[in-house]
Amino acid sequence: MSKKDTVYLLHTFKNKIGLRTFLIQYLPLVATRMSPLLIVILTLLVVYKLYRFVYDKPPNTPPGLIRIPIGGSYWLLLWRNYKYVHLALDYYAKKLKSKLFSCYFGDYFVVIANDYANIKEIFSREEFDGRVTSADYIKDRAFKKELGIFFIEGPQWQEQRRFALRHMRDFGFGRRQDTLESEVMDEMTLFIDILKNEPIYDEEKKIIKGNLALFPDILYASAANNIWTIMFGYRFNRSEHDILRHLCRSALMMQRANDPSGGALFQRPILKHFGNMFGYKNHITGSNAMIDVVKKALERQKATLSENVNRGFVDIYLKKLNEDDKSPYFTEEQLIILLIDMMFPAYSAVPTAITHAIKYLMHHPEIMNKVQNEIDSVVGTGRLVTWADRINLPYTEAAIRESLRIETLAPLGIIHKTMKKTTLGGYNIPANTPVIANLAAMNNDPDMWGDPENFRPERFLKEDGQLSKDLTLTFGFGHRLCAGETFARFNMFETIALLLQTFNFSFVDGEPSSLDDKVPGLIISPKELWLRLELR
Ligand code: HEM
Ligand SMILES: *[C@@H]1O[C@H](CO)[C@@H](O)[C@H](O)[C@H]1NC(C)=O
Ligand SMILES: *[C@@H]1O[C@H](CO)[C@@H](O)[C@H](O)[C@H]1NC(C)=O
């Protein structure tokens, strides 16, 4: 080995080029020319570096999983459960005997909480309010910028979230409002009528056949119209329902393409060039499909904007865009992605959550019976269930809560991130650390629930049959609380109560009816399935 080579080698080490580069590029070259002693020394160095790599983590951070080159600890998770990361995380929390632990997703040091106490604390403290904002796959759906609500942080997030919620409230979002409620009741009456009578349009015939209906597709039109009207101030009529179904299918396509832990695309942005192998293509296709519809609707809205009337939230935002002294975060591109973020969960999460709930009830006929009996005795059959009936239907509400607990729709919520260096449970958490709340693990934690595996609505009821405090965190908590919780609960309740009031449900042979027939993603969705609906 020449002196020049040795100097070069030491130099590279000094500059910490990283183990991989060293192994691949320099080791073979050097190995052919050096003395046995040097080989021994270098081997020891490599072993030492590997050891450090596998076990090293920032000082006094939560107990950690070992780290393997390239994927970090992610390999272990995939090995354990390649479909459902939350189950793998729960498994390792138990293995490490620590409900708060850490690991590496690729090169990212990540902290995971699997229990109520830690999750509640994370959600309550503003230093945990950050998000991963700059990953390629996240920006690529938003004009390559940091826009929307889900994946922005700091003053931009505070301003845009506050503005949206304040003004969407005017149109009934997040509170009870007569106008919205009557719009929703119109929509739901139409929904039940379509199911009771014959399908008319070709696209309806694809999701209704005799007394069979395809779930969750059958739920799309009303779910999407109910949020659309808040934003734009009008609903699509029955002949236009295809547009709504297209929006919902695109939203679900996007949800299913995403890994709730960020997955490979988060760890290695370059993998986005592999089509759908890591979900990138469907993620973008679904997102762009929604953007196209929203863009067209915005053009129409702009052309018909009137100074005196606000038809929906969009009109207020468009007027804001015309102001001179607005903050720089108000842009038309931001409006588009904000609308997507505020609408796509209504398109996808609500219909899938309803389908999960109905499947659970069908698998537990005695509970289904109790719900139907409650609705019959409180509301009867002469009129449709309304929002106002909700307080008088505690068992129905408890059954819905139980379905949201046992099948935690967004198993890992949306990843948070520390805004600065902080502590949690006596451990240090460095700044900019992604922090994951394993909501599914918490909602199914035996220490908290006793018998989490049982579907038992009674756990949400007091002795007197009234609702008790809901300790699930299915919608998150704190500043980042799901913006649509009230809206989602209302829509779920209304749709489920109406369906059970009107129909008896039964499974169809050969359909994916099992509770395990579901698809992973940012939200867990049931496989599409036909159910038989018989008028009661
Ligand atoms: C059953 C249905 C739903 C479930 C289970 C659900 C659950 C969640 C969860 C777990 C989060 C993350 C909270 C966190 O970051 O800690 C979230 C965020 C969010 N949800 Fe929902 N959601 C549902 C429906 C909806 C609906 C219908 C809307 C809107 C109409 C909506 C809008 C949002 C928004 C905008 C955020 C981001 C909040 C932020 O980052 O500041 N969600 N949701
Ligand atoms: C539905 O709306 C479209 C577009 O606004 C309109 O052309 C059509 O006549 C409407 N159909 C019905 C049945 O009202
Ligand atoms: C609906 O289901 C209930 C309970 O299974 C049953 O008692 C009732 O007869 C059914 N109604 C009809 C019309 O099939």
d(CA 209, CA 378): 32
- CA diameter of the chain: 95
Predicted structure pTM score:
0.92
Q: Is the dihedral of CA 247, 294, 312, 340 positive or negative?
A: positive
Residue 25 has what pLDDT?
73
Task: Assess contact for 215 and 526: CB atoms under 8 A.
Answer: yes
Task: Assess contact for 385 and 514: CB atoms under 8 A.
Answer: no
Residue 104 has what pLDDT?
95
Degrees to nearest 5, angle at CA 499 with 312 and 459: 95
Assign 495 to helix, strand or coil: helix
Nearest in space to 339 (alpha carbons), one of 323, 359, 360, 316:
316
Hey, what are 488's tokens?
Answer: 């989602």
Q: How far is CA 346 from CA 354, 441, 470, in A?
A: 11, 24, 22
* Ligand 3 environment, Cβ below 6 A: 369, 504, 534, 536
Domain boundaries, the chain: 1-56, 130-535
d(CA 426, CA 448): 22
Sole residue written with tokens 């991130």:
417
User: How far, in Å, is the centroid of ligand 3 from the Cα of 508?
Assistant: 17
d(CA 536, CA 531): 15
Say which ligand is closest to the CA of 164: 1
User: How far, in Å, is the centroid of ligand 3 from the Cα of 368?
Assistant: 11
Say which ligand is closest to the CA of 172: 1
User: How far, in Å, is the centroid of ligand 2 from the Cα of 236?
Assistant: 8
Cis geometry, peptide bond prior to residue 216 (ω within 30 degrees of 0): yes
Q: Is the dihedral of CA 188, 190, 195, 201 positive or negative?
A: negative
Q: What is the full per-residue pLDDT of the chain (536 aa) written as tens digits?
A: 455 555 555 555 545 566 667 667 766 676 666 778 888 888 888 888 888 888 889 999 999 999 988 889 999 999 999 999 999 999 999 999 999 999 999 999 999 999 999 999 999 999 999 999 999 999 999 999 999 999 999 999 999 999 999 999 999 999 989 999 999 999 999 999 999 998 999 999 999 999 999 999 999 999 999 999 999 999 999 999 999 999 999 999 999 999 999 999 999 999 999 999 999 999 999 999 999 999 999 999 999 999 999 999 999 999 999 999 999 999 999 999 999 999 999 999 999 999 999 999 999 999 999 999 999 999 998 899 998 999 999 999 999 999 999 999 999 999 999 999 999 999 999 999 999 999 999 999 999 999 999 999 999 999 999 999 999 999 999 999 999 999 999 999 999 999 999 999 999 999 999 999 999 999 999 999 999 999 99
Instruction: Give the mutation target among 240, 241, 243 for probing the ligand 2 site: most ligand atoms within 8 A of CB.
Output: 240
User: How far, in Å, is the centroid of ligand 1 from the Cα of 219?
Assistant: 19
Annotate 25-53 with b (16+ C-beta within 10 A) or e (fewer). Answer: ebeeebeeebeeeeeeebeeeeeebeeeb
* Ligand 1 environment, Cβ below 6 A: 123, 149-150, 161, 227, 341-342, 345-346, 349-350, 353, 409-410, 413-414, 474-476, 480, 482-484, 487-488
Assign 423 to helix, strand or coil: strand
DSSP string, 199-246: --SHHHHTTEETTEEEETGGGHHHHHHHHHHHHHS----GGGHHHHHH
User: How far, in Å, is the centroid of ligand 3 from the Cα of 505?
Assistant: 9
Residue 41 has what pLDDT?
87
Task: Assess contact for 532 and 505: CB atoms under 8 A.
Answer: yes
CATH of domain 130-535: 1.10.630.10
